[in-house]
């Protein structure tokens, strides 16, 4: 009786041992997969996938002669990939689709003059800043679009893209907003020049450069109506800390050896957007989600 019971016990222990070994093996495989970081996956495929609009001059656009994708953000990302020993692949996505593409892992990095805000940092991770700027307003030269102060924005039609800081600022001041899809600067400028819209709120450097190369629209930056100092960074899916660390290391080296400044001056007509601007910017009360 004792021998039979012991035999059953041994058999049971053996079965349980096999089950435990199988489960342990499965568990170990799962843990191995789950411990693989976004950076590990990027290194494995040897390609960095970057989302950008391809319609925002001079940060992400197509060269008129070659039709190749270029711009400040594009060339910064090419240099980062080179320093990380990776190939690079760009996916052209409208601004309002960049963040969802990050969260679904369709892209590894979003590079499209993206302002770093407290609200965005709740949902995304960001690199260190590689662009500094502030907000401006483009208006018609002939009448300033009737805008001489921030209060004059009330009731005006502001052109912009969905989910941007500048569209929200326009709303804060009582402007009506006309939302555009993934269109180029000339579409915005044309509508403003013929009165379909009244103002374009956006980054100062972007607007200054775009106006320089499109004088036919007879537009200007409204004088002294500057606001919201900003810092632009590369956006990454929340939790991809090692990837952020690698991006920051490359950016730090590019700042130290002057590469970042050189790329900036190439696309911003000699202006260095990699450094904080020395401009007197009046404090303006903005919506909490944009601070």
Res 7 pLDDT > 60: no
Does the predicted model carry a pTM greater than 0.85? no
With 0-12 CB in 10 A as exposed, 13-18 as middle and 19+ as buried, what is 96?
middle
Beta bridge pairs of residue 223: none
User: Quick one: angle between helices 38-45 and 241-256, nearest 10?
Assistant: 70
**Domains located in the chain, CATH noted:** 38-130+233-269 (3.40.190.10), 133-229 (3.40.190.10)
Res 131 pLDDT > 50: yes
- Best CA proximity match to 237, nearest among 52, 61, 104: 104
Provide the pLDDT for residue 34: 59
**Averaged pLDDT, 147-161:** 96
Helix intervals (H) in the chain: 2-34, 38-45, 72-83, 95-103, 118-121, 165-172, 185-193, 204-213, 241-256, 259-267
- Best CA proximity match to 125, nearest among 105, 109, 141: 109
Q: Which tokens sit at 19?
A: 């089950």
Quick check: 62 and 20 in contact, CB under 8 A?
A: no
Q: Which tokens sit at 47?
A: 């390609």
- Average confidence score pLDDT of the chain: 88
- What percent of the chain stands above pLDDT 90? 74
CA atoms of 208 and 196, how far apart (whole Å): 21
Beta bridge pairs of residue 36: none
- Residue found under tokens 């593409």: 101
């Amino acid at each position: 009786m004792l021998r039979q019971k012991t035999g059953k016990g041994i058999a049971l222990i053996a079965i349980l041992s096999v089950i435990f070994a199988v489960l342990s093996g499965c568990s170990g495989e799962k843990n191995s997969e789950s411990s693989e970081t976004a950076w590990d996956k990027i290194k494995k495929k040897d390609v960095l996938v970057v989302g950008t609009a391809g319609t925002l001059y001079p940060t992400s656009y197509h060269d008129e002669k070659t039709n190749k994708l270029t711009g400040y953000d594009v060339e910064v990302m090419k240099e980062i990939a080179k320093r990380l020993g990776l190939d690079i692949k760009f996916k052209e996505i409208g601004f309002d689709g960049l963040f969802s593409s990050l969260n679904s892992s369709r892209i590894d990095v979003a590079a499209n003059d993206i302002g770093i805000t407290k609200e965005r940092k709740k949902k995304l991770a960001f690199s260190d800043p590689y662009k500094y700027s502030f907000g401006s307003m483009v208006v018609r030269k002939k009448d300033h679009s009737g805008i001489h102060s921030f209060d004059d924005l009330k009731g005006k039609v502001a052109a912009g893209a969905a989910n941007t800081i500048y569209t929200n600022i326009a709303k804060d001041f009582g402007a009506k907003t006309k939302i555009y899809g993934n269109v180029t600067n000339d579409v915005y400028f044309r509508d403003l020049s013929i009165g379909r819209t009244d103002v374009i709120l956006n980054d100062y450097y972007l607007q200054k450069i775009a106006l320089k190369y499109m004088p036919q629209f007879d537009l200007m930056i409204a004088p002294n109506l500057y606001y919201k100092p900003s810092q632009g960074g590369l956006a990454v899916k929340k939790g991809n800390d090692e990837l952020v660390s690698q991006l920051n290391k490359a950016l730090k080296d590019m700042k130290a050896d002057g590469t970042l400044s050189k790329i900036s001056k190439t696309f911003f007509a000699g202006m260095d957007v990699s450094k904080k601007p020395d401009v007197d910017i009046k404090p303006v009360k903005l919506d909490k989600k944009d601070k």
